[in-house]
Structure 1
Amino acid sequence: MHIRTSRASVAVDTPGESKPSSRPANPGRRPAAQTLWATRPLALRDGRAIAVRLVGDRLEVAVVDATTATIRWRLASSVLTERQATIWANTSDSRRTR
Structure 2
Amino acid sequence: MKVYYVYILKCSDGTYYTGFTSNLEKRYLEHKTGKHKESYTFSRRPLTLEFYAEFTDPNMAIATEKQIKKWSKAKKEALINNEFEKLPNLSKKIFNSK
Same fold (TM over 0.5): no
TM-score, normalization by structure 1: 0.22
Structure number with the higher strand fraction is 1
TM-score, normalization by structure 2: 0.22
Rg (Cα) greater in structure:
1
Structure number with the higher helix fraction is 2
